[in-house]
Amino acid sequence: MSSAQPENFRRLKSNMQVPVSAVIPAFNGAAFIRETIGSVLAQTFQVDEIIVVDNNCTDGTIDIAKQLGARIVREPVQGVAAARNAGIKAARNEWIALLDHDDLWHPRRIELQWKGLRTRPDIKYVGSAWKVVDAAAPSSKEQILAMFPDQGDVDEGDLILIRPDASTQAALPFAHPSTQLIHKEVFEEVGLFDERFSGSDDIEFVLRALARYTMLYLKSHLAVYRIHGENTLIRQAARVSDARWLVLNELCLSPHRYHTSMAKHQVEFAKQEFANRGRSLSHQGRGR
């Protein structure tokens, strides 16, 4: 892998490289990709390879990714689900660590998740908490660390097991794709991201995977979700609400494929969001 890397990230000294492929789907992310890959290069436990999936980029995203030593995979079918799937198929390692092209990893993300796996070697699916920040916020390694002042080693109190048969854990926070570490066995068993739901494929996949596999969930915040441009909180809230209705429809058609109690929670959340949006539109109409 190339030694070139962003000025505001420095590779930390590490005695550990783990059999993990970082998969980054990318579409016109030139404004973010340097820092995103930089956050991978700054990991205390190094991944074996960084794959950036070119999902029809027309800006400088891929040139930057190449400069930073990423392996480029091209996916002509538009959509984040197709891009994620292309990267997963191309990965040479058994473990896949997902990362969106505009998000960031905490420098100890891979280390802490890997240490968590040591406590439960039977686990094939890992997630964690995550933070939301404005894309204009500083994102050097030191500044990211400052967002997580209490980030210590993993202990039993940091770990939650979300089991396929769990009926009382439906309100657990959603594991964003950029926090997920997934063994290829999971994809072989339950399938890849469903391209019919591109844009909401992450929610559908989690519910589908959790119907068969226990997730080891770390309470530590190990990723940063950056809000920007079209990806505003308001637009994101609307997308998530719509996504939950798509999941509801699929759940009704094929309930045996999903973690039922968590899917029901998603449905209830969607109903609440739909009601809130309806009230908002009603108020707007009366205000005219």
CA separation, residue 2 to residues 6, 41, 67, 103, 189 (Å)? 12, 10, 7, 21, 34
Instruction: Give domain 17-230's CATH architecture.
Output: Alpha-Beta Complex (3.90)
- What does the pLDDT read at residue 169? 45
- What does the pLDDT read at residue 257? 82
| Nearest Cα to Cα of residue 222 among 157, 128, 132, 124 | 128
Q: How confident is the model at residue 156 (pLDDT cuts 50, 70, 90)?
A: low
- What does the pLDDT read at residue 120? 92
End-to-end CA distance of the chain: 59
What mean pLDDT is predicted for residues 244-270? 70
Specify whether the backbone of 110 is left (phi greater than 0), alpha (psi in -120 to 50) or beta.
alpha
21 within 8 A of 48, measured Cβ to Cβ? yes
CA separation, residue 185 to residues 68, 146, 190, 203 (Å)? 29, 36, 9, 19
Tokens of 210: 């959790």
Q: Is the pLDDT of residue 237 over 90?
A: no
Which has more confidence, 4 or 119? 119
Distance CA 166, CA 124 (A): 17
- What does the pLDDT read at residue 44? 94
- What does the pLDDT read at residue 267? 62
Distance CA 41, CA 37 (A): 6
| Nearest Cα to Cα of residue 64 among 138, 5, 3, 24 | 5
CA separation, residue 113 to residues 166, 186, 217, 238 (Å)? 22, 17, 9, 31
Percentage above 90 pLDDT, the chain: 49
How far is C-alpha 39 from the geometric centre of its chain's CA atoms? 14
Domain spans of the chain, in order of start: 17-230
